[in-house]
């Protein structure tokens, strides 16, 4: 990456935000839905009003995700000191980290043992120490940005003048202060919007480096986010990254050695058992005798390189000579650290290593079950966890790392063969008579035209047991619900996909092939000529929407697959409370409400055959449009749905479970959009939206805010990434994906390189 980055969101005047991310193993990462220590934090603020509200939670989240770390927590494979308590204090700094547990105990006049063992005492002692330092400096609670010296004084990070440690301190401060800028945290933890100006706090150029996942470094200086780094106004500096362009580079001057001619053949995934900032600082400690090539931040996936890939980092004992290793911020016992941003960034790094000429195939990524112990996977699996290598005692990344999700992100552009006939036979890659090969990833989509369901019956099945697998999904891709994962010689029998589409994915390892499988499929509802007469057709667009009356039932079919029905009605000024219901559903149908200009107002996207309901109280007198369609191509030529638009002069009751109710006030759970970075022109990005289900449109804009494509329509499902294909004509640089969701627009940065 050799060009300065331009951030269009910044040009629009929107403050860059470090977004709370999600993972497949944690529904929401930051803020947590609740904390058992809320009463203790509240007591601390009552006792010590000099502390700005929210600061204690910000420190706790940055250090531990507001979790009381016990002395029994697994030790870090890096040897880094393990913090204790909710605030993440260090008792034994191992001659390198500051022992801030002792500092807090001294300032608060509380015993170290009590602070370590009792969460309430721990929080109140930290607060007492904080208040004492703040009072000495005559600070007030009005502006947390003025409390820099207190936050630094109570950190465990070394106060060393070298670039790495000053960067680590800035990264810690960035984590704390950016927590305070997020509206969802302000609502959850009941603290005010302090109007913090983080670019002014860190310096505009250096803020871009702290907040960007991709920073360009050269011998002449640092560029990121369209800014040039100024070392004279910062507490850290960075040097050239020769291996992974998007990584910040803080090369350690010790804790590595030559590979002595040993070739790189494997890539190891680690968990720090601590913070990003702490890990970066610890690797600079020449007495630690430990390092990794890269470190990944949880909140936004920022990557920092510590050791050149050509050198041997010291991260996995006897297996160091042939491995590249990456540490991930967090703790193995807390899934909330493994965010979507971290997974996406880590997978992008893995893809870069796959493409760097080492001969490591992305198909050799481990995708088995996450476990708590250690076991060696053998030499076939090249990208795997610390716990999967021989001669190891550490169990990271542990039971909370989602290997299947990571495998799909690393191998994010499979070739798919689509089979659209109403019936037929499907084989493994070896065909009807041959064995499948080694290192196979064969993806086949059975999608008969107009099918409401697909059944697949196996006549033969023989895969290498526990090493080669066939995964079958109920839908159009491998993000759909998993029907089953099959291996060995046990015949799966007959499998049925109720969506009308079935996705097959065969994965084989590097050795031992078998005869594979043969199976025949049939489908229901697959004839486009068998659809009943529908008096509303043709109403496949908003412009051709069929007029319907209010307070009457309307019946029609979704047939064939892909059929969309539009309807038009008018709301009056007196009966301006609208309720739209969709009932008698044979399959998973969806319901949407639009205004006359075609803007999506609300949608109801319950799963299965659950009725769909939209309630819009106080709607302006106007023409409205209703859209009905089948999810994932669901269709029926046997059962008609019932659509009813009801209006009345009084407001409808509050929404029941599963209903969509128009609200005038914002909810706590606003949609959060994330996307894989970086990507190449013509590639497919993975976009994930949390706290939202339903249709969305994506428009890609350049650094000047101008659209560069015609837009893409997608269907957002809970915790399921959607594929976003990019134009092949894109130039390298930074773009912004504008994602339209129910009348609101979310923006997310996309790096094309």
Same domain for 610 and 726, yes or no, is no
* Per-residue pLDDT, 32: 36
Sign of CA dihedral 336, 377, 388, 354: negative
Q: Work out the number of other CB atoms within 10 angstroms of the CB of residue 582.
A: 21
Do 86 and 171 lie in one domain? The reply is: yes
Taking residues 13-31, what's their average pLDDT? 31
Read off the pLDDT band of 34 (50, 70, 90): low
State the average pLDDT over residues 269-298.
91
pLDDT of residue 220: 38
If asked whether residues 425 and 359 sit together in one domain, one would say: no
Does residue 103 share a domain with residue 143? yes
In terms of domains, do 42 and 184 share one? yes
The more confidently predicted of residues 675 and 486 is: 486
Q: Rounded to whole angstroms, what are the CA distances from 385 to 82, 406, 518, 689?
A: 20, 12, 34, 28
pLDDT at 194 over 80: yes
CATH of the domain at 572: 2.60.120.380
- Which of the listed residues 199, 225, 256 is the one where a domain comes to its end? 199
What mean pLDDT is predicted for residues 550-575?
Answer: 89
**349 contacts 302 by C-beta, under 8 angstroms:** no
> Which pLDDT score is estimated for 719?
64
Expressed as residue numbers, the domain containing 446 is: 416-524
| Tens-place pLDDT, residues 103-115 | 999 899 899 999 9
Q: 218-227 pLDDT, tens per residue?
A: 333 334 455 5
Record the pTM: 0.60
Residues 393 and 434 reside in one and the same domain? no
Question: Is pLDDT of 271 > 60?
Answer: yes
CA–CA dist 352, 247 (Å, integer): 11
Q: What is the pLDDT of residue 670?
A: 65
pLDDT of 129 strictly over 70? yes
Note whether 125 and 39 are same-domain residues: yes
Share of the chain above pLDDT 90, in %: 47
Same domain assignment for residues 403 and 274: yes
Q: What is the DSSP letter of 84?
A: B
Query: pLDDT tens for residues 607-642?
Result: 778 889 888 888 888 899 999 998 877 888 888 999
337 versus 601: which is more confidently predicted?
Answer: 337
pLDDT tens profile 447-504: 998 899 999 999 999 999 999 999 999 999 998 999 999 999 999 999 999 999 999 9
Instruction: Please give the average per-residue pLDDT across 90-100, as a whole number.
Output: 90
Angle, helices 340-354/403-410, rounded to nearest 10 degrees: 50
Chain mean pLDDT for the chain: 82
Render pLDDT for 643-655 as a digit per residue (tens, 0 to 9). Answer: 999 998 887 764 4
| 317-328 pLDDT, tens digit each | 999 999 999 999
Q: Are residues 149 and 278 in the same domain?
A: no
In a domain, 14, yes or no: no
pLDDT interval class at 12 (50, 70, 90): very low
Task: Give the pLDDT score at 227.
Answer: 52
Q: Do 332 and 246 lie in a common domain?
A: yes
Residue 605 DSSP SS3:
coil
Q: Among residues 362, 387, 410, which one ends one of the domains?
A: 410
Asked if residue 722 and residue 684 are part of one domain, the reply reads yes
pLDDT tops 70 at residue 25: no
End position of a domain, from candidates 607, 635, 661: 661
CA–CA dist 382, 508 (Å, integer): 14
User: How many domains, in total, are found in the chain?
Assistant: 5
**Are 312 and 406 in the same domain?**
yes
Residue 476 included in any domain: yes
């Amino acid at each position: 990456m050799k060009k300065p980055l331009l951030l269009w969101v910044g040009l629009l005047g929107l403050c860059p935000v470090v977004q709370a991310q999600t993972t497949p193993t944690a529904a929401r990462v930051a803020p947590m839905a609740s904390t058992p220590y809320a009463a203790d934090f509240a007591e601390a603020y009552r006792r010590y009003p000099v502390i700005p509200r929210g600061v204690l939670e910000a420190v706790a989240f940055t250090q531990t995700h507001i979790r009381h770390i016990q002395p029994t927590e697994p030790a870090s494979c890096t040897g880094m000191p393990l913090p204790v308590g909710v605030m993440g204090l260090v008792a034994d700094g191992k001659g390198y980290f500051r022992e801030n547990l002792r500092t807090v105990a001294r300032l608060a006049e509380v015993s170290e043992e009590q602070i370590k063992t009792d969460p309430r005492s721990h929080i109140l002692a930290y607060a007492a120490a904080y208040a004492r330092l703040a009072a000495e400096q005559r600070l007030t609670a009005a502006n947390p940005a003025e409390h820099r010296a207190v936050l630094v004084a109570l950190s465990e990070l070394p106060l060393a003048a070298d670039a790495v440690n000053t960067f680590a301190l800035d990264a810690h401060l960035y984590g704390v202060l950016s927590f305070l800028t997020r509206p969802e945290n302000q609502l959850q933890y009941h603290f005010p919007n302090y109007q913090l100006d983080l670019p002014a706090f860190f310096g505009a150029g250096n803020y871009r480096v702290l907040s960007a996942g991709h920073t360009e470094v050269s011998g002449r200086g640092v560029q990121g986010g369209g800014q040039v780094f100024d070392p004279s106004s910062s507490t850290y500096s960075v040097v050239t990254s020769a291996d992974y362009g998007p990584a910040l580079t803080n090369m350690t001057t010790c804790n590595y050695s030559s590979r002595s001619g040993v070739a790189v053949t494997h890539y190891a995934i680690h968990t720090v058992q601590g913070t990003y900032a702490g890990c970066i600082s610890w690797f600079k400690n020449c007495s630690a005798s430990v390092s990794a090539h890269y470190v990944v931040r949880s909140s936004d996936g920022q990557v920092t390189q510590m050791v050149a890939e050509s050198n041997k980092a010291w991260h996995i004992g006897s297996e160091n000579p042939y491995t590249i290793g990456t540490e991930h911020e967090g703790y193995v016992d807390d899934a909330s650290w493994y965010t979507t941003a971290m997974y996406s960034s880590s997978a992008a790094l893995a893809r870069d290593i796959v493409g760097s000429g080492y001969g490591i195939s992305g198909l050799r990524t481990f995708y088995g079950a996450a476990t708590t112990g250690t076991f060696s996977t053998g030499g076939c699996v090249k990208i795997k966890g610390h716990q999967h290598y021989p001669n190891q005692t550490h169990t990271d990344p542990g039971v909370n790392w989602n290997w299947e999700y990571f495998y799909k992100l690393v191998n994010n552009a499979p070739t798919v063969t689509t089979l659209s006939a109403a019936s037929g036979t499907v084989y493994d890659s070896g065909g009807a008579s041959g064995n499948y090969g080694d290192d196979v990833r064969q993806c086949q989509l059975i999608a008969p035209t107009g099918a409401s369901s697909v059944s697949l019956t196996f006549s033969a099945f023989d895969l290498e047991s526990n090493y080669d697998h066939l995964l079958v999904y109920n839908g159009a891709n491998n993000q759909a619900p998993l029907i089953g994962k099959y291996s060995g010689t046990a015949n799966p029998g007959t499998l049925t996909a109720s969506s009308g589409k079935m996705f097959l994915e065969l994965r084989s390892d590097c050795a031992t092939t078998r005869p594979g499988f043969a199976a025949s499929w049939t489908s229901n509802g697959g004839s486009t000529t068998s659809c009943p007469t529908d008096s509303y057709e043709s109403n496949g667009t908003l412009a051709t929407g069929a007029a319907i009356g209010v307070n009457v039932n309307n019946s029609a079919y979704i047939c064939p697959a892909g059929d969309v029905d539009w309807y038009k009605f008018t709301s009056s000024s007196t009966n301006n409370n609208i309720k739209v219901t969709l009932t008698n559903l044979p399959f998973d149908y969806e319901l949407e409400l639009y205004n006359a200009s075609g803007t999506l107002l609300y949608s109801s996207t319950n799963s299965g055959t659950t009725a769909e309901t939209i309630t819009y109280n106080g709607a302006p007198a106007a023409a409205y449009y209703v859209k009905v369609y089948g999810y994932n191509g669901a269709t029926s030529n046997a059962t008609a749905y019932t659509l009813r638009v009801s209006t009345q002069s009084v407001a409808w009751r509050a929404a029941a479970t599963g209903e969509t109710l128009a609200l005038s006030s914002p909810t706590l759970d606003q949609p959060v959009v994330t996307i894989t970075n970086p990507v190449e022109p013509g590639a497919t990005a993975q976009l994930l939206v949390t706290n939202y289900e339903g249709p969305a449109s994506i428009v890609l804009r350049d650094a000047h805010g101008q659209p560069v494509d015609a837009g893409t329509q997608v269907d957002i499902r809970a915790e399921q990434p959607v594929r976003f294909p990019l134009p092949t004509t894109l130039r390298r640089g930074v773009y912004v994906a504008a994602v339209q969701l129910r009348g609101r627009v979310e923006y997310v940065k996309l790096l094309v390189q």
